[in-house]
């Protein structure tokens, strides 16, 4: 059965897209059939996989408003088992156009149903806001994975995120779970990173993944070549970190 996971944190720059792209690529490398859904109008996951946004005739937007089928939007990537639903700026229009639609939170879920059983994992890269797009992602998902940047104020705002999860659980998706907390840009030499880890463990207990993603320049460089880290520099600590994380996730699933 497919597992649908939203990668979410309303803060920008915490490693959501890096995690969505590299977790998806790592799971695909481990033989899983993966669909990455770019649910952010900034479309960094799309560019990060080497797709030129302006050239796109069909993207997630057309799918979510019911103008195109998922099958016609899905793109192949350099990894045979990894497929992509790309995004672009069109997605900005979604929030406004859906205001008066009574089923506006369930558009992504409806859109994915016809193709979801062709995959082992569907990974949704969420925008940096608790917006209608994020509500759609949570409504469509089995669980939410939260990247935490190992920085000051890492846990700030998490209350709002957890409240949103609760709200979606009670209104639209009773089975929704927190998959876990992933520490990103982790520098084990600093006290700060250790403090963030301890705070996260105190609050979230076993929900904090053992694997921590190190701060690694290759993870920052890879998207500009349109490649996941494991194709850009397989031996880098960043690539290894996400492979280890994918294995941990598979053990837990």
Q: Which residues are at the interface with ligand ADP (CB under 6 A)? A: 12-18, 44, 128, 184-185, 213, 215-216, 219-220, 223, 238
The interface partner of residue 31, options being Mg ion, ligand ADP, none and the CB cut-off 5 to 8 Å by kind, is none
The interface partner of residue 3, options being ligand ADP, Mg ion, none and the CB cut-off 5 to 8 Å by kind, is none
Backbone φ and ψ for 147, nearest 5 degrees, come out as -80, 135
The interface partner of residue 8, options being ligand ADP, Mg ion, none and the CB cut-off 5 to 8 Å by kind, is none
How, if at all, do strands 82-85 and 75-76 pair?
antiparallel
Residue among 18 and 141 whose Cβ is closer to ligand ADP: 18
Signed CA dihedral, 210, 192, 161, 221: sign only: negative
Count of positions (residues) in the chain: 253
The interface partner of residue 93, options being ligand ADP, Mg ion, none and the CB cut-off 5 to 8 Å by kind, is none
User: What residues does 82 pair with on adjacent strands?
Assistant: 34
Residue among 44 and 136 whose Cβ is closer to Mg ion: 44
Reduce the DSSP state of residue 92 to 3 states and report it.
helix
Rounded to whole angstroms, the maximal C-alpha distance in the chain is 51
For the chain, the helix, strand and coil percentages under 3-state DSSP, each to the nearest 5: 50, 15, 35
The interface partner of residue 50, options being ligand ADP, Mg ion, none and the CB cut-off 5 to 8 Å by kind, is none
Closest contact distance (angstroms) between CB of 235 and Mg ion is 25
Residue among 43 and 200 whose Cβ is closer to Mg ion: 43
CA 164 to the chain's CA centroid: 16
Closest contact distance (angstroms) between CB of 178 and ligand ADP is 17
- Per CB under 5 A, residues contacting Mg ion are 16-17, 44
Residue among 44 and 136 whose Cβ is closer to ligand ADP: 44
The interface partner of residue 180, options being ligand ADP, Mg ion, none and the CB cut-off 5 to 8 Å by kind, is none
Tokens 């957890």 sit at which residue?
162
Q: DSSP assignment, residue 53? A: G
Dist. CA 140–CA 37, nearest whole Å: 11
Q: DSSP assignment, residue 139? A: H
Closest contact distance (angstroms) between CB of 35 and Mg ion is 17
Residue among 15 and 63 whose Cβ is closer to ligand ADP: 15
Residue among 63 and 214 whose Cβ is closer to ligand ADP: 214
Closest contact distance (angstroms) between CB of 118 and Mg ion is 25
Helix or strand run (H / E) with residue 159: helix 158-171
């Amino acid at each position: 059965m497919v597992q649908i996971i939203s990668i979410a944190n309303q803060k920008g720059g915490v490693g959501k897209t890096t995690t969505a792209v590299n977790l998806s690529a790592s799971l695909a490398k481990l033989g899983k059939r993966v669909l990455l859904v770019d649910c952010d109008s900034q479309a960094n996951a799309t560019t990060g996989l080497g797709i030129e946004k302006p050239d796109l005739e069909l993207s997630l937007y057309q799918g979510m408003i019911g103008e195109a089928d998922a099958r016609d939007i899905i793109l192949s990537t350099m990894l045979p088992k990894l497929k992509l639903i790309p995004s672009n700026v069109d997605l900005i229009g979604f929030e406004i156009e859906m205001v008066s639609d009574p089923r506006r939170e369930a558009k992504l879920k409806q859109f994915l149903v016809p193709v979801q059983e062709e995959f082992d994992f569907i990974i949704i890269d969420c925008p940096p806001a608790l917006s209608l797009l994020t509500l759609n992602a949570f409504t469509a998902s089995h669980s939410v994975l939260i990247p935490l940047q190992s920085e000051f104020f890492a846990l700030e705002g998490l209350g709002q995120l957890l409240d949103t999860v609760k709200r979606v659980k009670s209104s639209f998706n009773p089975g929704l779970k927190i998959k876990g907390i992933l520490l990103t840009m982790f520098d084990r030499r600093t006290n700060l990173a250790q403090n963030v880890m301890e705070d996260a463990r105190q609050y979230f207990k076993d929900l904090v993944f053992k694997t921590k993603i190190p701060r690694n320049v290759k993870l920052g460089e890879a998207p500009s070549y349109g490649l996941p880290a494991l194709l850009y520099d397989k031996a880098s600590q960043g690539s290894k970190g996400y492979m280890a994380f994918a294995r941990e996730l598979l053990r837990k699933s």
